[in-house]
Structure 1
Amino acid sequence: MNTEFDLTRLGHFMKRQLYMNISSMWIAVVAIVGVLLVISGLVAYFNPEAVENLVPLYLVVLFLGGFIFTSKIYNEMNSPQQSYAFLTLPVSTLEKLVGAWLLVAPVFLVTALASVFILTFASATVAGQPARLPGLANGDLLRMVGSFMVTQTFFFLGAVAFRGNNFLKTLLALFLIAMVLAAYTGGLGYLLFGGGNHHLEPGSELKGTAEFIFKEVVPFLYWFVLPLFLLVVSYFKLKERQV
């Protein structure tokens, strides 16, 4: 197996992965866009003023499709007939990781956002309304795209770590993680303020620390540290699968 990172091999690997997944990807995209077009047409006909409110629905549905697509990007590893061919490709582990991530994140995002523009234009045309993307000026769309980039790394790790039913298993894992975090934060809050006699003074050190953590530390961990950490874990899990 090659261990060096090579852009030419990366390009060939991405073309291969697109070829292997293109049929299922396009079937899913056409089906989703078709359903959204029907919904958009009905809304445009019966309530033209509500057309611009469909954009969040488009994004949620397409991003959900992106999570499913991400969960299936390494499906070959879970197939006895195809796993050997995939694992013995003359491509490094890093190239397999980067190539797959580029397909399920930037490439998918371009496809999804193009679909949103097409759907918005089509529904606005039917409704006789100006086609525009609400929320673009104040950064709502950018925040949604950023949140997708972060959360899809969970499903990317699930695609590597689980063997079959990757999407459902990742959802279950996220549910369990959320339950553990909720129990931990609830227990910590009870230990700190369980007596009910504690309150944060406006200038107290504890209040300042809490504000710093939730306004500075937590966003930094969420937007930068968490996705990078999950991608690094995905790399080592993928390397482990290839041994």
Structure 2
Amino acid sequence: MSTSKSINQFSLDRFLLVLKRTIVLNQRMWVIGFLSVGGFLLVVGILPFISNMFNITRPGFAAVREPAIFFYMLGGLVLTSMIFSELHTPTKAFQFLTLPSTTWEKITAAWFTGTVIYTVVTMASIFVLSAMIETVKGINTGVWSPFFIFNPFTSEIFSTILLYTFYQSIYLLGAVYFHKNNFLKTLLVIIGFSLGFIFFFNIGFLIFGLAQSEEFFINIQIGSQPWFVYAKYIIGTGLTMLFIWLSYLQLKNKQVA
């Protein structure tokens, strides 16, 4: 009886083994993705200093900072959408389904890989990228100030990471649920849900006569105060946990089936 309980309970040791396996299985794709995106951004960042064909008003890392953040979001969602590709491959699915670990250990390993590990590696990579670009800029221009090094410990980056974590939980569910084209199918679901929400939101305003109420829009402006921001984070955290829970249920159903 105690052995059965221990198997069904969450085990840190088993979680770490599944986590290591998840990283090993996806490391090739990660390396290719990081080198491709990093190389592209590096070329874009240093090309103006070795060619006179470009006239950029924000030279150095500042020119590629926003694209780097964009690729952080996009790359993480793409990688998450493929993290359960083994599960949807008939010749390999049995290897995943018969792993001596619980469903929670599998789903949390996938989530931890796609959020914590991916974010730490990406932020460190952007930091190194910024140092490389700024060094090349200083060598070629002789101007070392300002030396724009990427700082991941800002409120803006923190908000970006939270937003990514929210969307990543949706793509985690899509990775378990859909068999093919997980990224595009999940994206279509998000777009469809957003359009539907906007549609019914506006219909509600029309029904209750709020669409033409000037006072209502003033209240919306007041709603952007700090308490509203806190409420947004609380709701976002709750929805993130909900999507992770739904991912767990979906994965559990696949294992039972």
Report the TM-score range of the alignment, normalised by the length of the smaller protein: 0.7 to 0.9
Q: Secondary structure at the match of 1:77?
A: coil
**In the alignment, which residue of structure 1 is the partner of 2:121?**
111
Q: Show structure 1 runs of 5+ residues with no match.
A: none
Q: 1:134 to 1:192 in 2, by over 3 A?
A: farther
Q: 1:187 to 1:133 in 2, by over 3 A?
A: same
Output aligned runs, 1:9-20, within 5 Å: 9-20=14-25
- How many residues end up aligned between the 2 structures? 237
Q: Deviations over 1:116-136 (max 9, x none)?
A: 101111111122240323685
TM-score normalized with structure 2 length: 0.83
1:131 aligned to 112, 131, 148, which one?
148
Please tell me the residue identity of whatever aligns with 1:9.
R
- 1:177 maps to 2:193: yes
Structure 1 distance, partners of 2:179, 2:150, is 39
TM-score normalized with structure 1 length: 0.88
Please tell me the residue identity of whatever aligns with 2:11.
D
Q: How far is 1:44 from its partner?
A: 4.9
- 1:122 maps to 2:132: yes
Please tell me the residue identity of whatever aligns with 1:236.
L
Runs of 4+ off more than 3 Å: 43-50, 134-137, 212-219
Structure 2 distance, partners of 1:89, 1:179, is 40
RMSD, aligned CA: 2.6
**In the alignment, which residue of structure 2 is the partner of 1:141?**
157
Q: Deviations over 1:32-62 (max 9, x none)?
A: 1111111111245543743324212111112
**In the alignment, which residue of structure 1 is the partner of 2:239?**
226
**In the alignment, which residue of structure 2 is the partner of 1:199?**
214
1:37 aligned to 42, 52, 61, which one?
42
Q: Deviations over 1:62-114 (max 9, x none)?
A: 22111111111111111000001111111100000111111111000011101
Q: 1:219 to 1:22 in 2, by over 3 A?
A: closer
Q: 1:135 to 1:50 in 2, by over 3 A?
A: farther
Structure 2 distance, partners of 1:74, 1:235, is 13
Aligned-pair identity in percent equals 26
